[in-house]
Chains A and B, each alone.
Chain A
């Protein structure tokens, strides 16, 4: 299992992501945004969290035009698995690889805490190790995580099973965290090979540090 992790100026979760995937047994390569090609043996491409280009203009808006992004688009369009976490999710939205857009959290605060997530659709490579309606506890840390999509787009997400995760309480009752439409925390594209979520599974892989629910999520990519 070869995992490629992208790195932009302002990315700050690339080493956590590397640590998490190495712990699960993957070979991890970090690739700088100025490169034009992804390693040929990439089985999973991860766009990690952080604040690429200082979130200037809009989160992810500038990173999406980085040299490496042409290869990312090609890789995704050829069916390659892509996982965008937090800022990585924002970049995938800006790049049009996932539908919708991010707004500032409705509380207008930066939210940094553990959040419960409900598995809405496990019929995909990412969440297949979990069951629908399972609740996992995963940290969130974002200012622009208020997911928006218009009502027509939302129906398409629902009809195609593209909504993967929603914010909820510890009992699994859906509740708002940041104002996201339909309390969405994570989605996929229609083809189910591009995934984006605001929470950070790579920060929840050691019980010593609080919780290892993230392992159940990231493990999905290992068993094809």
Chain B
């Protein structure tokens, strides 16, 4: 079973990389279309779990313990069968 984990800075924590990229997109002619840019990272986990529920449960534990720093980051988990 596969879990896709997306980690990014929380709303309210200034994302300097996102801001710089947004600025670059503006100068490349996308000023009218781009409202916001946020940069995060994706972690792809191959899990030995029997069900989607247990895969999600394990992935949440991993995020809380290591994969995200919840002081500044939020995470989202998608489980693929």
A binds B: yes
Q: Which residues of A contact B (CB under 8 A)?
A: 57-58, 61-62, 65, 93-94, 100-101, 103-108, 146, 148-149, 179
19 contacts across the A-B interface (CB closer than 8 A)? A57-B66, A57-B67, A61-B66, A62-B66, A93-B71, A94-B69, A100-B71, A101-B69, A101-B71, A103-B9, A103-B14, A103-B16, A103-B72, A104-B17, A107-B16, A108-B16, A108-B20, A148-B72, A149-B71
C-alpha spacing A100/B17, complex, angstroms: 19
CB contact between B16 and one of A57, A65, A100, A146 (< 8 Å): that residue:
A146
B17 partner residues in chain A, CB cutoff 8 A: 104, 108
C-alpha spacing A153/B20, complex, angstroms: 27
A148 touches B13 (CB 8 A): yes
A146 partner residues in chain B, CB cutoff 8 A: 16
B66 partner residues in chain A, CB cutoff 8 A: 57, 61-62, 65
B16 touches A104 (CB 8 A): yes
B16 partner residues in chain A, CB cutoff 8 A: 103-108, 146, 179
Give a binary string over B1-34; 1 marks a CB under 8 Å from any A CB, 0 the rest: 0000000010001101100100000000000000
Give a binary string over B61-72; 1 marks a CB under 8 Å from any A CB, 0 the rest: 000001101011
B9 partner residues in chain A, CB cutoff 8 A: 103
C-alpha spacing A59/B35, complex, angstroms: 30
B71 partner residues in chain A, CB cutoff 8 A: 93, 100-101, 148-149
C-alpha spacing A94/B65, complex, angstroms: 10
| A59: min CB distance to chain B, Å | 10
B13 partner residues in chain A, CB cutoff 8 A: 103, 148
From B12, which residue of chain A is reached at the shortest CB distance? A150
C-alpha spacing A101/B72, complex, angstroms: 7
Give a binary string over B33-47; 1 marks a CB under 8 Å from any A CB, 0 the rest: 000000000000000
Pairs of residues from A and B, 3 with the lowest C-beta to C-beta distance, nearest first: A101-B71, A101-B72, A106-B16
B20 partner residues in chain A, CB cutoff 8 A: 108
C-alpha spacing A106/B13, complex, angstroms: 12
Within B46-81, which residues are at the interface with A (CB < 8 Å)?
66-67, 69, 71-72
A65 partner residues in chain B, CB cutoff 8 A: 66
> Besides A61-B69, A103-B16, 7 other CB < 8 A contacts?
A65-B66, A94-B69, A100-B71, A104-B16, A104-B17, A105-B16, A146-B16
